[in-house]
Amino acid sequence: KQEVTQIPAALSVPEGENLVLNCSFTDSAIYNLQWFRQDPGKGLTSLLLIQSSQREQTSGRLNASLDKSSGRSTLYIAASQPGDSATYLCAVPNSGGGADGLTFGKGTHLIIQP
């Protein structure tokens, strides 16, 4: 059964720093990997989806990379801002493209200090 691990569990950094969040998964036979953001008490917002054939995906100050062979993904946040404070979750499909749901990591709780 797929297991997803995120390190670190929590991170607090000053505004303006570049930072990296890590995600690892045990079964490399994935179709894609998603990064989500969750604000306190809210639902999840999709940030980036990387297909298995891609090495990375970018959206604004966010860049996600995927290394299937090593079972790892990273989310890079450039020039962090207080508004980036949230919990970041990575997830992989249970099978196929996600029709059977996703397996999530437990998240990285990020605090950006003004």
Residues near other proteins (CB under 8 A): 31-32, 34, 36, 41-46, 49, 51, 89, 91, 93-94, 96-107
Nearest approach, Cβ of 102 to other proteins (angstroms)? 6
Cα distances from 99 to residues 52, 54, 68, 96, 107, in angstroms, run: 16, 20, 20, 7, 22
Q: 91 and 81 in contact (C-beta within 8 Å)? A: no
Nearest approach, Cβ of 91 to other proteins (angstroms)? 8
Closer of 16 and 97 to other proteins (Cβ): 97
Nearest approach, Cβ of 110 to other proteins (angstroms)? 16
Q: How many CB atoms lie within 10 A of CB 39?
A: 12
Residue carrying the six token digits 């995906």 = 57
CA distance 26 to 83: 32
Closer of 28 and 94 to other proteins (Cβ): 94
Closer of 55 and 106 to other proteins (Cβ): 106
Closer of 32 and 80 to other proteins (Cβ): 32
Nearest approach, Cβ of 26 to other proteins (angstroms)? 15
- Name the burial class of residue 89, with classes exposed (0-12), middle (13-18) and buried (19+) by CB atoms within 10 angstroms of its CB: buried
